[in-house]
């Protein structure tokens, strides 16, 4: 299966998989972008050109909260014309809110449904949804698309 690029344009609030626009609200764009950044930034095998079945970059939601809140808040500000106020709003709300994990899980489901509805191609779908690798007490989340296919601007 040839994986098309997944492109995020934060200033326009758009996510494309190939030439297909994935229509989701701003909060979900930020969450999906965070998982794409995790894919690229947390790669434990940077010498590999293709990810194949590797899921070493998948992380528990607590990791997302601890390591991505700052970037997520900056991205949220970019969605709103580089608004510092919006970035601070996101950071202040979610860095202290105990409901962060629940909010992320709820939105993962909505993001995956929107991806299914817009993408339609079941052969590509597993590469672009946010999947949870369930282990007792240690579910790890991530996206399987090859890291070289990710574009964020």
Under DSSP, is residue 131 helix (H, G, I), strand (E, B) or coil? Answer: strand
pLDDT value for 97: 74
Please give the average per-residue pLDDT across 135-153, as a whole number: 91
Sign of CA dihedral 148, 149, 150, 152: positive
The string of pLDDT tens digits covering residues 5-35 is 999 999 999 999 999 999 999 999 999 999 9
Residue 67 sits at φ, ψ, to 5 deg, of: -110, -10
pLDDT value for 121: 66
Please give the average per-residue pLDDT across 52-61, as a whole number: 89
The string of pLDDT tens digits covering residues 86-134 is 999 999 988 877 888 889 999 999 999 999 999 886 789 999 999 998 8
| CA distances, 6 to each of 68, 79, 113, 141 (Å) | 20, 17, 17, 18
């Amino acid at each position: 299966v040839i994986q098309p690029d997944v492109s995020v344009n934060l200033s326009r609030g758009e996510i494309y998989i190939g030439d297909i626009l994935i229509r989701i609200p701003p909060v979900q764009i930020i969450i999906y972008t965070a998982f794409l950044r995790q894919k690229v930034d947390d790669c434990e095998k940077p010498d590999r050109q293709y990810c194949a079945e590797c899921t070493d970059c998948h992380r528990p939601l607590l990791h997302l909260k601890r390591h991505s809140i700052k970037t997520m808040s900056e991205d949220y500000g970019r969605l709103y014309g580089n608004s510092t106020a919006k970035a601070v709003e996101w950071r202040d709300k979610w860095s202290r809110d105990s409901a962060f994990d629940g909010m992320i899980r709820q939105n993962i489901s909505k993001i995956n449904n929107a991806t299914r509805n817009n993408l339609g191609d079941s052969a590509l779908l597993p590469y672009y949804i946010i999947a949870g690798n369930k282990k007792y007490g240690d579910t790890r989340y991530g996206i399987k698309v090859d890291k070289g296919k990710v574009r964020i601007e």
